[in-house]
Structure 1
């Protein structure tokens, strides 16, 4: 009996949501590596990532000014991100790095997006998370790829200039990455909206661990849709669907806050019970009922290769800098501890892994800059770069 046959008897079958995640995205340079024949010429032919003049000016201007505003020690000892910092982020369009210029966004490259997040994260993880979430998988990107023209024209300019702050709610108390297990549900029905009876959905949800939820003004929401009265056809279960709800919509609960290990980025819950929404609230309209998971995993192939990997790089670089500096000023037996072989061994490990992390960050964003969505590469980057960042921090401590 083969190993594969044995494992098939032990492991659960691949779910529909898992299969869709595997099928999403593009194959890139990893193909030749998995075949055991790495195509080094293809690797050398990838254009080197560089900041454009506009991106460099943003780094030298608003990013540098933001770093000067941040006191991470004070932030960690407080409860909230200062309002002047949040206002600065909105005014200078930090939340619009992926939004096209025609909607008022910055439309920066994946490399610039990653560089900006990594630079901020080296000063404050809380501020970096606040910046990275609107520029990752969420309302902005989903609207760009799947929204109707009316939805794009209304929401994207407001997200770009900070008038609206988005969050996206997928995770439920009992389900997160396993989106097929989310209990949040909507029933196709008729209800009243703006004084008229319209076809829509009556949605109930209970979400947690939603970043930016406590300060968000617009909620992206994932839920399953059911049609017991068969108002849309013969199917009873229509699948996972994504919608966009203003915080002001009746029945939407936002504002409660988690405490994520004392780090002061905003993370919290959102709830709603039998909240009626019109079909226009569905991202892309009624035709996109049941396409929610496909939409999410399609966008995820790019976003997960930018934000969390950048945080991993920043963690390692900050730890490397602090460790090297400390090893020169701390003395034992009359010499800096940096001259001890045991310390040098740890610093060499830190230096090597930090170099590896930066190389992986640059290569991954170079691929994304070519327009490909290498879902395998970005999944590897997300896992290994956050894990290596933790490993470097452990060695530094």
Structure 2
């Protein structure tokens, strides 16, 4: 198997790394401290083309697929997990509109999400519908007289939800059918009846706004139905498969970033008259961190390659997200330990990275849910 990148992918990796170092890293500490969405940095992401990954050029995108997303998101994650999270989750909306949308929907919405500067969001979770997506209660009932869906309900923990210009929202168009009655709708910010609620104060990725969304008799044109009525659960699950690869990319990015810092510090920190990196205990830490992180990247890239090839990848996306997320926590923990007291201080980035890493085990499906998915896949 050829694990080498193409010339175009190598260039993307180089550009993403340079962008992360020059634009994202300097603002990472302030975003974490002030809980501020990086408006200017997002504009720069748009200008460079990162927000158009996975979307054809005819709609303002830059082409590519899941592997290109992994490359960009993981490079961002090395320097700023908030920014990696924002890009990874933003891309869910344009990629799903590109996959399931009508020509008219693509023409109307994709340029705004790829090169137009609007943030995208994916709204599935509700107060009583987290891991159990089938418990969604939000409804979208068709008013045949006006040919509009009347959307009512509340979503929670939606990344970028209150700030996003275009959202893919999941609701029951036929509540009697349960999951078979779930559909996906494209909802625009500013639609009457759609308001943003509470902005959550979080343990990590503080600059990526996580919001409550409230829909009260919010009227959505029937032309904004994504796919067909009743396809919502299928669309959501397939979208989550891709999103889990994105979270895996975030996880390997932050792990690689923490490993780089640990290696650098272990060479510079002098104790007992020599660098701590000469101590066997530290070397074993570094060896475990490097080996597990390489394994995590291999799992994530394999899942991305399967998605790009159009092959089934649900099991692999769950595996890569599960392993990469647990490894992110493992590596940031050891990197902080290597830094000792300095690692615990906010003057060093490890304290922030340790907090940021935890979310990868929770959003887009908890680690426990992924174990259920994997077990069902391998046991039949």
TM-score range, shorter chain: 0.7 to 0.9
Q: TM-score, normalised by structure 2?
A: 0.81
The residue that corresponds to 2:87 in the other structure is 131
Structure 1 residues without counterparts, runs of 5 or longer = 1-43, 191-196, 229-234
Q: Shift of residue 348 of structure 1?
A: 2.0
CA distance in 1, matches of 2:324, 2:296: 6
The 5 Å alignment of 1:37-52 reads 44=1, 47-52=2-7
Give the SS at the match of 2:45: helix
Residue aligning to 1:343:
282
User: What's the offset of the Cα at 1:214?
Assistant: 2.6
- For 2:196, the equivalent position in structure 1 comes to 254
Match of 1:214, SS? coil
From 213, 216, 219, the equivalent of 1:273 is 216
The CA distance in 2 between the partners of 1:242 and 1:261, in whole Å, is 30
Which residue of the partner structure matches residue 233 of structure 2?
Answer: 293
- How far off its partner does 1:254 sit? 2.7
In structure 2, C-alpha distance between the alignment counterparts of 1:236 and 1:353, rounded to whole Å: 41
| Partner in structure 2 of residue 311 of structure 1 | 250
Equivalent pair of 1:213/1:255 in contact (CA under 8 Å):
no
The SS at the match of 2:137 is coil
Matching of residues 160-309 of structure 1 within 5 Å: 160-190=114-144, 197-226=145-174, 239-254=181-196, 256-262=198-204, 263-284=206-227, 288-305=228-245, 307-309=246-248
- Structure 2 match to 1:22: none
SS in 1 for 2:316: helix
What is the distance in 2 between the residues matched to 1:91 and 1:319? 28
SS in 2 for 1:198: coil
Q: Kindly state the Cα deviation for residue 78 of structure 1 after the two structures are TM-superposed.
A: 2.4
Report the Cα distance in structure 1 between the residues aligned to 2:226 and 2:312, rounded to whole angstroms: 21
Alignment partner of 1:293: what SS?
Answer: helix
Structure 2: segments with no counterpart, 5+ residues = 337-380
User: Cα gap change, 1:250/1:311 in structure 2, threshold over 3 Å: closer, same or farther?
Assistant: same
Structure with the bigger RCO (C-alpha within 8 Å, sep 6+) is: 1
Distance in 1 (alpha carbons) for counterparts of 2:288 and 2:13:
30
Q: 1:30 maps to what in 2?
A: none
Q: What is residue 332 of structure 1 aligned with on the other side? A: 271
1:152 Cα deviation after fit = 1.2
Please say which structure displays the higher CA radius of gyration: 1
Contact 2:182 2:233 in 1 (8 A): yes
Question: Which residue is equivalent to 1:382?
Answer: 321
Taking only aligned residues, the RMSD between alpha carbons, in angstroms, comes to 2.3
Any conservation in 2 of the 1:50–1:111 contact (CA below 8 Å)?
no
Residues 68-93 of structure 1: CA deviation (Å, up to 9, x unaligned): 12212232222323432122122223
Q: Note the alpha carbon deviations across 1:125-158, whole angstroms, 9 max, x for none.
A: 111111111223xx32222222122111111122
User: Do the aligned residues in 2 keep the contact of 1:48 with 1:366 (CA within 8 Å)?
Assistant: no
Deviation at 1:206, TM superposition (A): 0.5
C-alpha contact 2:199 2:212 (8 A) present in aligned 1: yes
The answer (yes or no) to whether the contact 1:302–1:378 under 8 Å persists in 2 is: yes
1:91–1:162 contact (8 Å) kept in structure 2: no
1:113 aligns to what SS in structure 2?
Answer: helix
Equivalent in the alignment of 1:10: none
CA distance in 2, matches of 1:237, 1:349: 43
Q: How many correspondences in the alignment? A: 333
Q: Say if 1:62 and 1:309 are closer, same or farther in 2 by CA, change over 3 A.
A: closer
Tell me, in whole angstroms, the C-alpha distance in 1 between the residues paired with 2:10 and 2:291. 27
1:66–1:85: 8 Å Cα contact kept in structure 2? no
Whole-angstrom CA distance in 2 between matches of 1:326 and 1:236: 54
Which moves more between the two structures, 236-245 or 166-175?
Answer: 236-245
The separation in 1 between residues aligned to 2:30 and 2:84, in whole angstroms, is 16
Distance 1:257 1:318, change over 3 A: same
Q: Is the 8 A contact 2:277 2:283 kept in 1?
A: yes
* Structure number with higher helix proportion: 2
Looking at structure 2, the residues matched to 264 and 373 of structure 1 have their Cα atoms a distance apart, in angstroms, of 34
Is residue 320 from structure 1 mapped to residue 259 from structure 2 by the alignment? yes
